[in-house]
Structure 1
Amino acid sequence: MIHQQDYTAYQTYALLDFNISFEKDVPADDISRAVIEVTERIDINKFVDFTHRNSHRYDGLMMLRLLLLAFADNGYASTRKLAELCRTDIRYMFIAQNQKPSHQAFQRFIHDDLIMSVEDIFYEMNRIMEDELPIDTDVLCIDGTKYEANANKNTFIWRKNTVRHRERQWKKCNDTIKRINKFFKEKNINCRYSILREPNIDYLLRVTDKIEIYMKDNGIEFVHGKGCRKSDIQKLYDELAKEAMKLFEYALHFDMLGDRNSCSKTDPDATFMHMKYDYYNHTNVFKPGYNVQVGVSDGFIRNIYVSSDCSDIQTYIPFMEKYELMYGKLPLKTPADAGYGSYDNYMYCRENGIELFMKYPGYYEESKKTNDKRSDSEPLILRELKMAGIYVLLVMSSRWIR
């Protein structure tokens, strides 16, 4: 180590070792070694299309290894991040044989040459490892966690608020239609629009079209801007058009919500959930996120399922259906915590020959004894001494009575 105060990174000094190699400098348990070993056993033609590749492009197996290593190491990597890793990370430099593919080269490889998606490649690799390694696939341990979405914090859409605001807006529309009917009645025009009980955006648009035709036939011009006085019918027209746009916005909110009670405007697929980390000063505020379920067999991740459900109960059956679709069979045992226990999940297990290893909510509370509930906080030795003292008193009292 250099201790001079005037040290700079560019000064020359003697190195102890002049050779940098993958075998020596990369740990034996690094994920890059597993990626290289697995890709040596696969049929590259199943993953990469070589029909329209020319001699000027980078090697397809090399690009596939770089892509798989980036996803296995970071979970996600952009094309620019991949290009940066090939210039700075010794593992990527070794796989690329000191070549430096640009982000455009990675983009062309993913778009033009890669046949499967990364998720399909993940399951294909699992099938290969299942044939090569003694993995007990009969047992699949399931657990889930919630990840915060990359969405703005204050972009709430709540179903109850949307229903309430839509009803209020529809009442305003009905009041505006009544005023339009009153306007035509005062002008002695035989025109009357109906008051509907349910919001109907198409009906409101037809009313605005009729008003435009009336204004055009009577020579009433649309005016806008400061200092321009609007006519009475244009004021009604503008109010109705504004209210129709608000109703259309609420209809979009319902379409984004689907069967959920909340979502985010900037990420409609994200649902507002409770997270373990609360940066709102522990105010218990919901944050947009996703529920990620993971299944593991003998330390290998076998299945991943991402959903917008707030609870784990509703994710079990879709999770198992995806597993069966990818591997063609179901495991025999699926140990999971009490968050997955429900009647529907138990019936699904019985119908598909899966042993019931999921506890139901409240299992631990029901299994406790009455005296254990009152003395859980006491040490075990203290509880035993108390029970022994009570027994001695009972014996002495029985002898005294005799």
Structure 2
Amino acid sequence: MYKEYNISQLSLPIETEISFPESDIALIINKLVESIPQETFNQYYNHRGPSSYHPKMMLKIVLYSYTQSVFSGRKMEFLLKDSCRMMWLAQGQVPSYRTINRFRVNPHMIDFIQVLFVGLRAQLLEDKVITEDALYIDGTKIEANANKYTFQWLGSTKHFSKGVIEKSNAVYKQLISEKIIPEIKRESSDELTKEELNRIEMHLDDKNETLTSKIEASQSVEIRKTLRKQRSKVRKYKKAIKDFKDRKIKYDEQMEIYGDRKSYSKTDHDATFMRMKNDHMKNGQLKPGYNLQIATNNQFILAFGVYSNPGDTRTLPSFLKSIKELYGDIPEYIVADAGYGSEQNYTMILDEFEKTLLITYSMYLKEKKRKYKNNPFITANWKYNEIDDYYVCPNNKELHFKSYRKRRDGYGYQRDFKLYKCEDCVGCPLRNECMNYRTNPTTTKSLYKNPTWDYFKAFTNKQLSDPKTKGIYKKRKIDVESAFGNLKANLGFQRLSVRTQSKVECELGIALMAVNIRKLAR
């Protein structure tokens, strides 16, 4: 059972005449948490041991502390004895900092946070504070609670792993050639597996024991001396094989941790080294961190996601799916900057979600400049003959269609291209401006065109030329960027205090809800 907790009755020694203004943060938090259905708190119920603090009370004091820029469990415990609002929310109860810290990273905390976001959105829609037409998305990097110089790089692991494979194969061939061990059945001639290394080690153990027995049985000094030399060599090989096996196990574990990333921190395996704006070394030093994605409307944060990959492009599909799961649907307009502009994301929004995208691409602003439009050597400005399907270069040479090509990026997404080639570029006076001067003098100009990408670019330009959708896109900066300013500058939340992604999601959910509550109070 829970300890006695009744918010409607004050307990001594708190003064009964204490009252707060209607817009007070403590009252907003109390109303918000009390709106959570009771069944949500039942998963916290513990049937064994002494009675525990009520999750409602714990959630209220944690939320209030975060709104006051207090992120330390010890400082929260102090506020419970010092702040009249904290005393009122806790009804005089004083859980220890250890209890507070355990509560805010409890696996069930994410369920509370999701219910809070759903409830807050419903309230904001009812009060007509936000609209349902658009969702503004952006990301930022949050520094992880990990040591700065605990980096582990994928390139280094691959390099050393390759060295282990080469050396272990060489040692195995040497053992066979010297007839120290019998040849074993291998799965692949390229690499020795952990099981195969184990078998080699067992053969060497047997060989070592056999030589030891012969040494003990022999009475000849010369024979014993020769056998000891052989045993010494066997033990040397055994030590090398054991080292190869241990290192292989270590590198295999590291490769599992990497996943599709290129780095991780040794003190927080879920954190990836990313380039932060606040560079402590002033030399482009990377820091361990997480990629925080948020979706806003009227500067209120309606959803968030935490990711380990530093790029924003690949976070959008899973982020939109999580929003749809949370709210049942997503708004009509998906608004984001050029960091999210990719063929894969455009295809997903238009085909899978059937929504309108207002997302620019990397060259969007540059293509609007006069210098870009007037440059005759940019292939996007070349004349195109739709009937005969060919392009005309600045020297009036024709580039005709040759073949279809396919390309896959590092994550397996396939893009389709059309290849156009010029028949003759030899002796062209514009060759150096049109092509790389280092290329072979006999090389002809090749032009790759992606019809799908060209369609999406035209679609984006059309959408952002319409006054209505252009007006929605213009709100992006003041809508989503201000939320990050409220989080990092006004709230002062710039570094995480917990490790592993599940706990990070809980803490960031509390911090983002604190930002919403502060804005609601204003």
* TM value normalised by structure 1: 0.73
Alignment check: 8 A CA contact 1:48 1:113 kept: no
- Residue 271 (structure 1) aligns with: 272
Verify: 1:96 aligned to 2:90, yes or no. yes
Alignment check: 8 A CA contact 2:36 2:116 kept: no
Verify: 1:354 aligned to 2:355, yes or no. yes
Gaps of 5+ in 2: 1-14, 215-227, 376-522
Deviation string for 1:298-337 (max 9, x for gaps)? 2321110111122111111111100000000011112211
* Partner SS, residue 329 of structure 2: coil
* Partner SS, residue 334 of structure 1: strand
Q: Mark the CA change 1:52 to 1:215 in structure 2 (over 3 Å): closer, same or farther.
A: closer
Amino acid across the alignment from 1:347:
T
Verify: 1:332 aligned to 2:326, yes or no. no
Alignment check: 8 A CA contact 1:274 1:284 kept: yes
Alignment check: 8 A CA contact 2:335 2:358 kept: yes
Q: CA deviation at 1:347?
A: 1.5
* Partner SS, residue 267 of structure 1: coil
Gaps of 5+ in 1: 1-18, 222-227, 375-402
Looking at structure 1, the residues matched to 183 and 38 of structure 2 have their Cα atoms a distance apart, in angstroms, of 71
Looking at structure 1, the residues matched to 107 and 49 of structure 2 have their Cα atoms a distance apart, in angstroms, of 11
Amino acid across the alignment from 1:184:
K
Looking at structure 1, the residues matched to 372 and 330 of structure 2 have their Cα atoms a distance apart, in angstroms, of 42
Q: Mark the CA change 1:20 to 1:299 in structure 2 (over 3 Å): closer, same or farther.
A: farther
| Between structures 1 and 2, the one with greater strand share | 2
Looking at structure 1, the residues matched to 107 and 154 of structure 2 have their Cα atoms a distance apart, in angstroms, of 44
Verify: 1:136 aligned to 2:131, yes or no. yes
Q: CA deviation at 1:132?
A: 4.0
* Partner SS, residue 305 of structure 2: strand
Q: Mark the CA change 1:197 to 1:111 in structure 2 (over 3 Å): closer, same or farther.
A: closer
Deviation string for 1:185-242 (max 9, x for gaps)? 6xxxx72357831242221111001211222234369xxxxxx997221111011111
- Residue 243 (structure 1) aligns with: 244
Deviation string for 1:318-360 (max 9, x for gaps)? 1110000000001111221111111111122212232221111
Looking at structure 2, the residues matched to 51 and 171 of structure 1 have their Cα atoms a distance apart, in angstroms, of 55
Who wins on radius of gyration, i.e. which is larger?
A: 1
Looking at structure 2, the residues matched to 33 and 373 of structure 1 have their Cα atoms a distance apart, in angstroms, of 61
Aligned residues: 342
Question: 80, 85, 97: which is aligned to 2:79?
Answer: 85
* Partner SS, residue 248 of structure 1: helix
* Partner SS, residue 320 of structure 1: helix
Deviation string for 1:262-285 (max 9, x for gaps)? 2222222122211101112x2222
Verify: 1:177 aligned to 2:172, yes or no. yes
Looking at structure 1, the residues matched to 99 and 253 of structure 2 have their Cα atoms a distance apart, in angstroms, of 39
Higher relative contact order (CA 8 A, sep 6+): 2
Deviation string for 1:27-58 (max 9, x for gaps)? 76553232022234443343346695999665
* Partner SS, residue 292 of structure 1: strand
Q: CA deviation at 1:123?
A: 3.0
- Residue 383 (structure 1) aligns with: none
Looking at structure 2, the residues matched to 239 and 51 of structure 1 have their Cα atoms a distance apart, in angstroms, of 52
* Partner SS, residue 255 of structure 2: helix
Q: Mark the CA change 1:341 to 1:64 in structure 2 (over 3 Å): closer, same or farther.
A: same
- Residue 67 (structure 1) aligns with: 62
Alignment check: 8 A CA contact 1:295 1:301 kept: yes
Question: 192, 198, 204: which is aligned to 1:205?
Answer: 198
Looking at structure 1, the residues matched to 106 and 90 of structure 2 have their Cα atoms a distance apart, in angstroms, of 20
Alignment check: 8 A CA contact 2:103 2:109 kept: no
Q: CA deviation at 1:59?
A: 5.3
Alignment RMSD (CA, Å): 3.6
Verify: 1:34 aligned to 2:34, yes or no. no
* Partner SS, residue 332 of structure 2: coil
Deviation string for 1:151-175 (max 9, x for gaps)? 2222222222222211112221122
- Residue 126 (structure 1) aligns with: 120
- Residue 12 (structure 1) aligns with: none
Q: Which stretch shifts more, 313-322 or 171-180?
A: 171-180
Question: 153, 164, 167: which is aligned to 2:159?
Answer: 164
Amino acid across the alignment from 2:168:
C
Looking at structure 1, the residues matched to 146 and 250 of structure 2 have their Cα atoms a distance apart, in angstroms, of 20
Verify: 1:192 aligned to 2:187, yes or no. no
Alignment check: 8 A CA contact 1:35 1:68 kept: yes
Amino acid across the alignment from 2:160:
H
Looking at structure 2, the residues matched to 48 and 82 of structure 1 have their Cα atoms a distance apart, in angstroms, of 25
Q: Which stretch shifts more, 68-77 or 317-326?
A: 68-77
Looking at structure 1, the residues matched to 144 and 289 of structure 2 have their Cα atoms a distance apart, in angstroms, of 4
Looking at structure 1, the residues matched to 204 and 94 of structure 2 have their Cα atoms a distance apart, in angstroms, of 65
